[in-house]
C-alpha cells in the first residue's frame, strides 16, 4: 500500500511514517520507482509505535522494544532484559507522575475548600 493509504488507516501523518522509517522503527519495501510499499503487517507496527509514543517513550526506547519484544513483532527470542528494565523504569516514572498529580489535586481541593469557606463567611457576615 502507498504511504498515503497507511497514513489514513493508522492516523499517522506521512511525515511521521517517514520519520519512523528513518529511525528504523518500520521497514517498508521499495518499488523499482523508489516509492515505498507498505504491507499489511506494518499497519499493526505503526499502531504499536503510536501506543508507545502515547506512553511517553522516546524513539530510541521504542527502537529497543521493537528490536526484541515478541509482543510487538513476531521475533523468536524472548523479551530482552533491557526492555524489561525499560518497562519497569517507565512504570516507576508513571507512578511518580501519578503521585505528583495526586498531590496537586489534593492541594487544589484544599485551596478550593478554603476559598469557598471564605466566601461563605463573607456572605454570612453581610
> Where along the chain do its domains lie?
1-75, 80-126
What digits encode the pLDDT tens for the residues 71-93? Answer: 555 544 556 777 778 888 888 99
- Least Cα distance to 11 among 39, 37, 49, 41 occurs for 49
The fraction of the chain above a pLDDT of 70, given in percent, is 88
Its CATH architecture, for the domain 1-75, is Orthogonal Bundle (1.10)
Per the CB < 8 A criterion, the answer to whether 30 and 37 are in contact is yes
* pTM attached to this predicted model: 0.61
Per the CB < 8 A criterion, the answer to whether 35 and 69 are in contact is no
Amino acid at each position: 500500500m502507498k504511504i498515503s493509504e497507511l497514513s489514513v488507516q493508522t492516523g499517522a501523518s506521512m511525515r511521521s511514517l517517514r520519520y519512523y522509517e528513518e529511525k528504523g522503527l518500520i521497514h517498508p519495501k521499495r518499488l523499482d520507482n523508489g516509492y515505498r510499499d507498505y504491507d499489511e503487517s506494518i499497519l499493526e507496527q505503526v499502531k504499536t509505535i503510536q501506543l508507545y509514543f502515547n506512553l511517553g517513550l522516546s524513539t530510541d526506547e521504542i527502537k529497543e522494544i521493537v528490536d526484541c519484544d515478541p509482543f510487538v513483532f513476531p521475533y523468536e527470542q524472548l523479551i530482552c532484559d533491557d526492555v524489561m528494565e525499560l518497562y519497569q523504569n517507565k512504570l516507576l516514572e508513571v507512578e511518580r507522575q501519578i503521585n505528583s498529580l495526586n498531590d496537586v489535586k489534593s492541594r487544589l481541593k484544599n485551596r478550593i475548600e478554603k476559598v469557598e469557606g471564605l466566601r461563605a463567611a463573607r456572605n454570612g457576615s453581610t
